[in-house]
Structure 1
Amino acid sequence: MTTLIKTGVLSLAALSIAACSTTGNVERNALGGAAAGAAVGAGVGAVSGDVKVGEGAAAGAVVGGIIGAIHGNNKDKAVVGATVQAPMLDKTTRYYDNNSQRYYYFEKGTSRTFYENGERRS
């Protein structure tokens, strides 16, 4: 029982670290998934007599990390517009830059902008 409590405390600590991560969605969700998976795997290992607690935590961390990374990748795709094709210039609407006194366009799927001649606008 004390092993299960120790594992739970360590898992909560790992989850709190994952919540404070300043990286992208993939990394943050992979870290959180690994921590949650480790907790579940350790719990399964503690309850069942077939698997050791450490082995269950390791297997759960791997599976949880993979699932978390996939979830984070899907979040990133939703934010970027889920484009699977190469980004392309949206020339349906053009905008005017008062500083350079030139027109520019937005690139679909990204936040990059380009002038009419194709030169990247910074």
Structure 2
Amino acid sequence: MSKIIMTITAASVLALGACTTTGNTERGAAIGAAGGAIAGAIIGNNVGSGDAKTGAAIGAVVGGAGGAYAGSEKDKRMDNARRGPNGEKLYYDNNTGRYYFFDSRSGNSYYENGQFRG
């Protein structure tokens, strides 16, 4: 049992280490799979026939799917939060530290609060 948990923990650390530049969907899937595998191994070892491997596999699949769904929903919320007043894509201005958008009707750019950027 302890070998399985150590293996799963090591794999989880490696998977999570690769998540620094990925989106929330990928990060959620990796965290969910790792957590599900650990929980599944513990539950599988203590319930029924005591098969930790099967519990870990089932937990990883269920946790990964749940984590991917949760991460996908978070990505959608973040994408919708960073839009101009008419749904325009926002860009970041490094000089001012503010977001701006282009108005397709006038051809001008404005900060996200509607102030003319110039």
TM category (shorter chain) comes to 0.5 to 0.7
TM-score, reference length from structure 2: 0.65
Q: Which protein has the bigger helix share?
A: 2
* 1:38–1:56 CA contact under 8 A, matched in 2: yes
Runs of 5+ consecutive residues of structure 1 not aligned to the other structure: 92-105
Query: Corresponding residue for 1:116?
Result: 104
Deviation larger for 33-42 or 12-21: 12-21
Evaluate the alpha carbon distance shift between residue 75 and residue 59 of structure 1 in structure 2; reply closer, same or farther with a 3 A threshold. Answer: same
Which segments of structure 1 move beyond 4 Å, counting only runs of 4 or more? 112-115
Give 1:115 deviation, angstroms: 5.4
Shift of 1:45: 1.3
Aligned partner of 1:6 in structure 2 is 3
TM-score, normalising length from structure 1?
A: 0.63
Name the CA distance, whole Å, in 2 between partners of 1:118 and 1:6: 65
Give the share of equivalent positions with the same residue, in percent: 39
Partner of 2:44 in structure 1? Answer: 45
**Count of residues in Structure 1 that have an aligned counterpart in Structure 2:** 97
- Secondary structure (helix, strand or coil) at the match of 2:25 reads helix
Structure having the higher Rg = 1
**Deviations 1:32-75, CA, capped at 9 Å, x for gaps:** 11011111111111112335221111100011001111111122
Superposed CA RMSD in Å reads: 2.9
Equivalent positions of 1:1-122 (< 5 A) are 4-20=1-17, 21=19, 22-50=21-49, 52-81=51-80, 90=85, 107=88, 110-111=89-90, 113-114=101-102, 116=104
| Structure 2 residue runs without a partner (length 5+) | 92-100, 110-118
